[in-house]
């Protein structure tokens, strides 16, 4: 007798745990591979998984088996040319003519690299592992300006629109049972007695009448218990839970003056994308604002931000001012987590740099979660960097600046900026 | 192939289905028909449980090496990843079926297969493998099909509890070490108790306590009086060499916690469950292939399947039994399906149409009733003895078998025998030896324990034909060291001559702390 069972709808991920165990065991290898991949890949490519290879030798499960050597006799199929007693020269290079049948399954395979695929999700997990959004915790604690209401059981006080009818009627019913209990018991007894009298002593009118009176009294008493009383009323209780803001806005500020080459912009772009992906892992909703500037700032869309060319001098403060305006106008601090990343080659009109510092310290830094400044230049620092150093002193927790020279630096610098810090 | 008789074919040809699409109803009708034909050959099977699964579920089943539910371990994740990669790249197709030696016998059919393939798999797994599991003496003796699922559930739960209590890492380390010695966790000659989950659970606690007591007894160091001491010390412990290394560790390793012993026991039991399968690969696959071939041909002869079905079936069948030659780039040893199918088919041929050669070589078989001869062969042998008994000159000729002698003390290779009159017997013996697990696995046994001294464990490897141990031996010894907790020595013997030895931790090198991990560095009070 056979049973045919459709198991296709059963979970298909029986191996998930084992796969997880595997990744856990080789996380060192995988992390290294991921880091290499990050510096090798184009940043637009971040939305894919990655192929990881681990040297087979590191991953072998050792067993006792025979090695090569000694006297080994093996039977093979498909003879074409040999006859009994032939001597043939030993094949070169790994004994291709011989070894293989029994032992191959134990040891032969897997001498190559063990290659497998991880998903994008896992890739990003490994990539951003040990990284942390600075001040995320702080915002969770203090940013409780929005609330959401959640049901929290039943209460006996509340707004009429929240009456829970079922619970109300149930408690009314219980109250009626409790309050009329003794009367109903008496009523029942009286009814029985009345029945008995009517049956056995139909002539005893006095007692019958007395009983009938009592019965009607009892009926009145029972009916006097109200069907619904005020303290029967039950209401659904709703309480407010503080709702940590899970919206973030990311400001990308970039210098597009003549001194910024396409290569520099490309490096900046990669940095911005990395930051975007990182934020995406922490917030439900992210908006990105692109502000580019030369002598004046302009809010633009992504395409224009990265690819249109401008020339001219550089006034960084114009961008900061614009950012401050947009913040005030569209992103109230109690709702939004604000992150900003600024990329520049360090050039600025000299008199402008102190202005930048002031705007940052007074108007921007108090309201943002984190501000990163990356300077993409192989040259010496200029005035802007040194002014920003003062900002960094004033806001050690929320401001960071780093220098980038080539694309290969992006990820290490990024890691450094967002390294998980020991809470002090 | 049996020739379809034209007359029957024309008279009533009412195929069960004509397209390659399958439905559950069709699977049931094919199964009914195949069961009916199998009945004709009196194939004795467990009840069948046919489960239809997706390709991904098939990969899951693959990864857990055919156990319907296994405990968690990274190595299964590794298998899964490599299967997944190969499958997704199209480098390999998935096996058409997986069948589990349990009662009822569980067979997996893959959703993607055509109706023809499903029928082939039903014939192959549900009637071929199934009857082999039920009929072969090794399976009858060594495994208990009715309790394996229960036991695996118990094992999975137990290991999960251990992970919760002792941490994933501790359990994983232990399992790694056990897996390294898994092939040395089987009783080769003693018949083990049938395993039963209920019994296991009931007795596990009891065993834990009792065991710990006994071990402490073994290691008692309180002197028992000086005069007796000398005599006792001279006695070797264990008195006989032990081949079941895991069993020995479970019972006698001094530092293991009770739960660690229990996990060793689980790995041992799983190894024991798979032991018959490792010894009957050729027989088992050959048997299943023989029956899918026979049963499907009968279906065709009865007009129950179409010509197209048959073409697809033959295409699949021939690729299953394809044997690339030794010089082909696809060659990776002898295909057990080919060899097994050829041998069973040849036994049938010898019974039905014996030649003079067969009468000379197999006087008992030639001309006998093929079905009972075949069933006897299936029942009473394992690969090694099956080949030794039944490999006929015709099969040797058909497969063009020849042998190569590779002696590292000689400059060139020798061809001792080929598929000709003087070579048949040699080929047969050599091929049989090749399937002898005893030859395939190095002969390593536990020799002695230094009970009064440093508690070191000594193993002996008896070399066969000077075949050395492979490169991962040292890693295995490290695992053994982890389980045993004290020094481990491996002596390599040729006959009665000690030729080499290996030590963990290595001798004449100062031991560095932490390099050779032990499960437990705290020595319990004895």
- Write the DSSP string, B117-181: HHHHHIIIIIIIIHHHHHH-HHHHHH--TTTHHHHHHHHHHHHHHHHHHH-HHHHHHHHHHHHHT
Between B80, B417, B479, which is nearest A15 by CB?
Answer: B80
- For residues A221 and A307, membership in a common domain is answered with no
User: Hey, are the CB atoms on B470 and A6 less than 8 Å from each other?
Assistant: no
Within-domain flag for A424: no
Q: Which residue has the tokens 């088996």?
A: A65
Higher pLDDT, A284 or B434: B434
Report the alpha-carbon distance of residue B516 to residue A291 in Å, rounded.
59
How far away is chain B from the Cα of A364, in angstroms, using its nearest Cα?
47
Beta bridge partners of B460: B445, B491
Extract the tokens encoding A407.
Answer: 């694309």
Interface membership of B388 toward A (CB under 8 Å): no
CB contact under 8 A, B427 and A84: no
> How many angstroms separate the CA atoms of B402 and B413, rounded?
13
Share of chain A above pLDDT 90, in %: 2
DSSP 8-class letter at B510: P
Model pTM score: 0.71
For residues A281 and A396, membership in a common domain is answered with yes
Residue among A60, A62, A71 whose CB faces B465 most closely:
A71
CA pair distance B432, B283, nearest whole angstrom: 12
CA atoms of B118 and B53, how far apart (whole Å): 12
b or e along A391-402 (b: 16 or more beta carbons within 10 Å of the residue's beta carbon)?
A: beeebeebbbbb
Q: Tell me, yes or no, whether A155 lies in a domain.
A: no
CA–CA min distance B418, chain A (Å): 5
| Contact indicator for B56, A8 with CB cutoff of 8 Å | no
Q: In what helix (H) or strand (E) does residue A49 lie, and over which residues does it extend?
A: none
B416 touching A, CB under 8 A?
Answer: yes
- What three-state secondary structure class fits A88? strand
Task: Return the residue in B57, B119, B330 with the most chain A beta carbons within 10 A, the one to mutate for interface testing.
Answer: B57
Task: Specify the DSSP class assigned to residue A207.
Answer: H
Residues of A in contact with B468 (CB under 8 A): 66-70
Q: A201 in a domain, yes or no?
A: yes
Residue range(s) defining the domain that contains residue B347: 329-438
Q: What is the pLDDT of residue B8?
A: 47
Are the beta carbons of A75 and B441 separated by less than 8 Å?
A: no
Task: Say yes or no for a CB contact (<8 Å) between A79 and B400.
Answer: yes
Q: Are residues B26 and B132 in the same domain?
A: yes
Interface contacts (A, B; CB < 8 Å): 289
Using omega within 30 degrees of 0 as the cis cutoff, is the peptide bond preceding B104 cis? yes
Cβ–Cβ below 8 Å for B420 and A83: yes
pLDDT per residue over A20-63, tens digit each?
888 888 888 888 888 777 766 655 566 677 778 777 777 888 88
A264 with A409, same domain: the answer is: yes
Please tell me whether residues A49 and A116 are part of one structural domain: yes
Residue A315's alpha-carbon distances to A310, A321, A353, A381, in angstroms, are: 13, 11, 8, 16
For residue B63, list its beta bridge partners: none
Same domain, B420 and B455: no
Element (H, E) at B107: strand B105-110
In chain A, DSSP finds a helix count (H) and a strand count (E) of 15, 13
What is the arrangement of strands in the sheet containing A336-344, beginning at the earlier edge strand? Answer: A297-300, A285-293, A247-255, A336-344, A370-376, A399-404
**B467 inside domain:** yes
Query: Bigger pLDDT: B296 or A351?
Result: B296
Q: Are residues B375 and B427 in the same domain?
A: yes
pLDDT at B345: 95
A226 and A334 both lie in a single domain: no
Q: Give CA–CA dist B91/B80, Å, rounded.
A: 15
Q: How is B280-349 classified by DSSP, letter by letter?
A: -HHHHHHHHHHHHHHHHHHHHHTT-S-HHHHHHHHHHHHHHT----TTSTT--S--HHHHHHHHHHHHHH
What pairing do the DSSP bridges indicate for beta strands A235-242 and A87-89? Answer: unpaired
Strand A87-89 and strand B412-414: the pairing is antiparallel
What number is the average pLDDT over the span A73-81? 89
Following DSSP, what letter does each residue of B457-509 receive, concatenated?
EEEEEE-STTPPB-TTHHHHHHHHHHHH-S-EEEEEEETTEEEEEEEESPTTS
Please report the residues numbered 314 through 353 in chain B whose beta carbons come closer than 8 angstroms to any beta carbon of chain A.
323-328, 331-334, 338
CB nearest A7 (choices: B51, B75, B431)? B51
Contact A15 B59 (CB under 8 A): yes
Nearest-by-Cβ selection for B470 from A2, A67, A117? A67
A411 shares a domain with A344: yes
Q: Quick check: is B174 in a domain? A: no
**One domain, residues B430 and B461:** no
Task: Specify the pLDDT at position A135.
Answer: 58
Q: Are residues A48 and A185 in the same domain?
A: no
The B97-100 sheet, strands edge to edge: A2-6, B48-53, B105-110, B97-100
Assess whether A324 and A191 both reside in one domain.
Answer: no
User: Would an 8 Å CB–CB cutoff place B257 in contact with chain A?
Assistant: no
Place of tokens 């209780």: A237
Chain A positions touching B180 (Cβ under 8 A) are 61-63
A217 and A304 inside one domain:
no
**Same-domain status, B298 and B393:** no
| Among candidates A21, A73, A78 on the partner chain, residue whose Cβ is nearest the Cβ of B325 | A78
CA of B139 vs chain A CAs: smallest distance (Å) = 21
Kindly determine whether residue A73 and residue B406, on different chains, have CB atoms separated by under 8 Å: yes
d(CA B351, CA B367): 4
d(CA B108, CA A106): 26
Beta pairing, strands B105-110 & B48-53: parallel
- Nearest CA to B183 out of B308, B279, B77, B73 is that of B279
With cut-offs at 50, 70 and 90, classify the pLDDT of residue A110: very low
Query: Which two three-digit tokens encode residue A48?
Result: 């894919």
Q: How far apart are CA B281 and CA B139, in angstroms?
A: 12
Model ipTM?
0.79
Q: Which of B195, B208, B336 is nearest to B278 (CA)?
A: B336
Looking at the fold, whether B500 and B434 belong to one and the same domain comes out as no
Q: Is residue A292 reached through a cis peptide bond, with omega within 30 degrees of 0 on the bond before it?
A: no
Does residue B158 lie in a domain region?
Answer: no
Q: What are phi and psi of B109, to 5 degrees?
A: -110, 140
Where is the domain boundary, A180, A215, A237?
A237
Cβ–Cβ below 8 Å for A21 and B183: no
What three-state secondary structure class fits A171?
helix
Contact B286, B386 (CB under 8 A): no
Q: Are both B311 and B334 inside the same structural domain?
A: no
What is the spatial distance between Cα B344 and Cα A176, in angstroms, rounded to a whole number?
Answer: 85
* Structure confidence at residue A100 (pLDDT): 37
Decide if A148 contacts A194 (C-beta within 8 A). no
Cα separation, B218 vs B451, whole angstroms: 9
Chain B residues with CB under 8 Å of A118 CB are none
Q: Are residues B377 and B475 in the same domain?
A: no
In this structure, are B295 and B375 located in the same domain? no
Q: Give Cα A95 distance to the centre of its chain.
A: 53
The verdict on A337 and A403 lying in the same domain is yes
Classify residue A240 by its DSSP letter. E
Question: Are the beta carbons of B480 and B264 closer than 8 angstroms?
Answer: no
For residue B84, the chain A residues in CB contact (below 8 A) are: 116-117
Query: Any bridge partners for residue A96, and if so which?
Result: none
Helical (H) or strand (E) element with A118: strand A114-118
Q: Is residue A165 part of a domain?
A: yes
Residue B166 lies in a domain: no
Same domain, A326 and A399: yes
Are B73 and A18 within 8 A, CB to CB?
yes
Measuring CA to CA, which residue among A414, A419, A342, A305 is closest to residue A39? A414
Give me the number of domains chain B comprises. 3
Domain count along chain A: 3
Strands B457-462 and B443-449: antiparallel
Residues A337 and A255 in one domain: yes
* A101 part of a folded domain: no
Q: How far apart are CA A101 and CA B403, in angstroms?
A: 12
End-to-end CA distance of chain A: give it in Å, rounded. 70
Q: Looking at chain B, which residue has its C-alpha nearest residue A110?
A: B82
Which residue from B minimizes the CA distance to A21? B74
| B 419-448 residues with CB < 8 A to A | 419-420, 422-423, 427, 430-431, 433-434, 440-442, 444
pLDDT of residue A198 exceeding 70, the answer is yes
Residue B448 tokens, joined: 């002695």
* Same domain assignment for residues B21 and B112: yes
So what's the pLDDT on residue A144?
A: 47
Instruction: DSSP letter for B182, please.
Output: G
CA A336 to CA A143: how far, in whole Å? Answer: 9
A393 belongs to a structural domain: yes
Q: List the single residue in A21, A65, A80 with the smallest CB-CB distance to B73.
A: A21
User: Considering only CB atoms, which chain B residues are within 8 Å of A82?
Assistant: 402, 415, 418
CB-closest option in A72, A79, A115 to B85: A115
Residues of chain B with pLDDT under 50: 1-10, 225-231, 511, 513-514, 520-526
Tell me the shortest Cα–Cα distance from B67 to chain A, in angstroms.
Answer: 12
Longest dimension (CA), chain B: 95
Q: What residue in A sits closest to B88 (Cα-Cα)?
A: A117
φ/ψ (deg, to 5) at B356 = -65, -35
The answer to whether the CB of B515 falls within 8 A of the CB of B478 is no
Residue A93 inside a domain? The answer is: no
CA B304 to chain centroid, in Å, comes to 36
Contacts of A331 (CB under 8 A, 6+ apart): A249, A287, A338
B64 and A18 within 8 Å at the Cβ level: the answer is yes
Kindly indicate the confidence band of residue A104, based on its pLDDT and cuts at 50, 70 and 90: very low
Interchain contact, B182 vs A63, CB within 8 Å: yes
- pLDDT value at residue B92: 58
Q: How far is A38 from chain B (nearest CA, A)?
A: 22
Domain assignment of residue B151, yes or no: no
Interface test with A, best of B74, B431, B439, B478 (most A CBs within 10 A): B74
Determine the Cα–Cα distance for residues B73 and A21; give it in Å rounded to an integer. 7
Show residues of chain A in contact with B31, CB under 8 Å.
2, 4
Q: Could you tell me which residues come within 8 angstroms of residue B357 by beta carbon, excluding any fewer than 6 positions away?
A: B393, B394
CA separation for the pair A400, A391 (Å, rounded): 9
pLDDT at A285 over 50: yes
Question: Comparing A280 with A19, which gets the higher pLDDT?
Answer: A19
Instruction: Please indicate, yes or no, if residue B252 is contained in any of the structural domains.
Output: no
Instruction: Decide: B285 and B316 in contact? Cβ < 8 Å.
Output: no
Chain B: residue whose CA lies nearest to A6:
B52
CB atoms within 10 A of CB A16: 14
**Minimal C-alpha gap between A10 and chain B (Å):** 8
| Listed residues A214, A237, A260: the one ending a domain | A237
Tell which B residues from 19 to 58 touch A, by Cβ distance under 8 Å.
24, 27-28, 31, 35, 47-54, 56-57
B73: three-class secondary structure by DSSP = coil
HSE of A245, CA atoms in CB hemisphere, 13 A: 21
The shortest CB-CB distance from B47 to any of A1, A22, A99 is to A1
Cβ pair A66:B406 closer than 8 A: no
Q: How many CA atoms lie within 13 A of B432 on its CB side?
A: 18
Angle between helices A120-127 and A27-40 (to 10 degrees): 90
Domain containing residue A412? 247-418
Q: Is A28 exposed, middle or buried (0-12, 13-18, 19+ CB in 10 A)?
A: exposed
Q: Is the peptide bond before A359 cis (omega within 30 degrees of 0)?
A: no
In the prediction, which pLDDT does A255 show?
A: 83
| A369 found inside a domain | yes
pLDDT score of B344: 96
Check CB contact under 8 Å for B404 and A103: no
């Amino acid at each position: 007798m056979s049973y045919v069972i459709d198991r296709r709808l059963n979970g298909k991920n029986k191996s998930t745990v084992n796969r997880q165990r595997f990744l856990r065991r080789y996380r060192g290898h995988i992390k290294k591979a991921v880091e290499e991949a990050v510096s090798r890949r184009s940043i637009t490519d971040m939305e894919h998984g990655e192929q990881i290879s681990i040297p087979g030798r590191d991953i072998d499960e050792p067993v006792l088996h025979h090695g090569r050597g000694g006297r080994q006799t093996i039977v093979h199929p498909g003879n074409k040319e040999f006859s009994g007693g032939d001597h043939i020269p030993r094949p070169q290079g790994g004994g291709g003519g011989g070894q293989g049948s029994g032992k191959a399954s134990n040891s032969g395979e897997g001498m190559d690299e063990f290659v497998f695929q991880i998903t994008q999700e896992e890739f990003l997990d490994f990539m951003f592992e040990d990284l942390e959004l600075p001040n995320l915790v702080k915002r969770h604690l203090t940013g409780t300006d929005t609330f959401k209401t959640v049901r929290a059981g039943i209460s006996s006080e509340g707004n009429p629109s929240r009456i829970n009818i079922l619970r109300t009627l149930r408690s009314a019913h219980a109250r009626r049972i409790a309050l009329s209990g003794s009367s109903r018991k008496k009523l029942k007894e009286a009814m029985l007695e009345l029945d008995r009298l009517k049956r056995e002593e139909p002539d005893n009118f006095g007692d019958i009448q007395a009983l009938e009176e009592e019965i009607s009294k009892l009926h009145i008493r029972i009916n006097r218990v109200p069907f619904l009383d005020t303290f029967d009323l039950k209401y659904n209780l709703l309480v407010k839970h503080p709702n940590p803001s899970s919206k973030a806005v990311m400001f990308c500020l970039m210098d597009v003056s003549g001194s910024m080459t396409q290569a520099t912009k490309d490096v900046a772009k990669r940095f911005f994308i990395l930051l975007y992906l990182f934020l995406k892992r922490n917030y439900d909703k992210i908006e990105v604002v692109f502000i580019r500037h030369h002598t004046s700032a302009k809010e633009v869309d992504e395409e224009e931000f990265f690819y249109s060319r401008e020339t001219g001098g550089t006034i960084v403060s114009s961008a900061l001012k614009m950012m401050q305006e947009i913040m005030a106008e569209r992103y109230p601090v109690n709702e939004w987590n604000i992150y900003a990343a600024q990329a520049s080659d360090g050039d600025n009109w000299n008199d402008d740099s102190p202005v930048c510092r002031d705007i940052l310290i007074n108007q921007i830094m108090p309201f943002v979660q984190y501000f990163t400044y990356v300077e993409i230049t192989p040259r010496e620092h200029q005035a802007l960097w040194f002014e920003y150093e003062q900002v960094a002193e004033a806001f050690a927790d929320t401001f960071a600046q780093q220098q980038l020279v080539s694309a290969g630096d992006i990820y290490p610098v990024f890691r450094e900026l967002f390294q998980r810090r020991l809470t002090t | 192939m049996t020739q379809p008789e034209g007359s029957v074919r024309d008279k009533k040809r009412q195929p069960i289905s004509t397209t390659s699409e399958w439905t559950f109803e069709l699977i049931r009708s094919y199964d009914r028909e195949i069961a009916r034909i199998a009945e004709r050959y009196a194939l004795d099977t467990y009840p069948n449980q046919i489960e239809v699964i997706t390709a991904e579920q098939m990969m899951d089943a693959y990864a857990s090496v055919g156990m319907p539910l296994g405990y968690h371990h990274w190595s299964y994740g590794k298998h899964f990843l490599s299967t997944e990669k190969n499958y997704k790249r199209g480098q390999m197709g998935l096996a058409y079926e997986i069948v589990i030696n349990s009662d009822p016998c569980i067979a997996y059919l893959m959703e993607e297969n055509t109706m023809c393939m499903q029928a082939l798999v039903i014939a192959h797994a549900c009637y071929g493998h199934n009857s082999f599991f039920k009929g072969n003496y090794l399976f009858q003796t060594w495994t208990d099909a009715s309790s394996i699922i229960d036991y695996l559930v118990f094992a999975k739960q137990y290991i999960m509890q251990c992970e919760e209590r002792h941490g994933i890492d501790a359990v994983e380390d232990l399992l790694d070490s056990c897996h390294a010695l898994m092939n040395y966790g089987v009783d080769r000659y003693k018949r083990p108790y049938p395993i039963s989950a209920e019994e296991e659970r009931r007795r596990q606690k009891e065993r834990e306590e009792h065991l710990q007591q006994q071990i402490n007894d073994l290691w008692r160091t309180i002197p028992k009086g000086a005069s007796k001491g000398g005599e006792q010390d001279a006695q070797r412990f264990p008195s006989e060499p032990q081949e079941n290394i895991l069993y020995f560790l479970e019972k006698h390793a001094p530092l293991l916690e009770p739960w660690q012993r229990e996990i060793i026991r689980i790995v041992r039991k799983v190894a024991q469950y798979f032991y018959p399968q490792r010894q009957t690969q050729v027989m088992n696959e050959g048997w299943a292939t023989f029956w899918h071939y026979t049963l499907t041909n009968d279906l065709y002869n009865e007009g129950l399947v179409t010509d197209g079905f048959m073409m697809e079936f033959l295409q699949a069948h021939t690729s299953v039994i394809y044997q690339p030659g030794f010089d082909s780039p696809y060659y990776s040893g002898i295909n057990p399906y080919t060899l097994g199918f050829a041998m069973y088919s040849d036994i049938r041929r010898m019974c039905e149409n014996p030649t003079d050669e067969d009468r000379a070589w197999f006087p008992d078989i030639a001309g006998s009733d093929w079905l009972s001869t075949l069933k006897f062969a299936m029942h009473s042998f394992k690969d090694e003895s099956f080949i030794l008994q039944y490999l006929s000159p015709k099969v040797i000729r058909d497969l063009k078998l020849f042998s190569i002698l590779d002696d590292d003390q000689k400059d060139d290779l020798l061809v001792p025998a080929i598929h000709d009159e003087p070579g048949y017997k040699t080929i047969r013996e050599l091929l049989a030896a090749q399937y002898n697990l005893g030859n395939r696995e190095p002969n390593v046994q536990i020799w002695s324990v230094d009970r009064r001294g440093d508690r070191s464990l000594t193993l002996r490897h008896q070399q066969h034909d000077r075949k050395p141990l492979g490169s991962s031996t040292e890693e295995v010894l490290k695992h053994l060291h982890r389980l045993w907790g004290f020094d481990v020595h491996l002596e390599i013997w040729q006959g009665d001559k000690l030729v080499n030895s290996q030590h963990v931790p290595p001798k004449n090198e100062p031991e560095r702390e932490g390099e050779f991990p032990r499960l437990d560095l705290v020595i319990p009070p004895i």
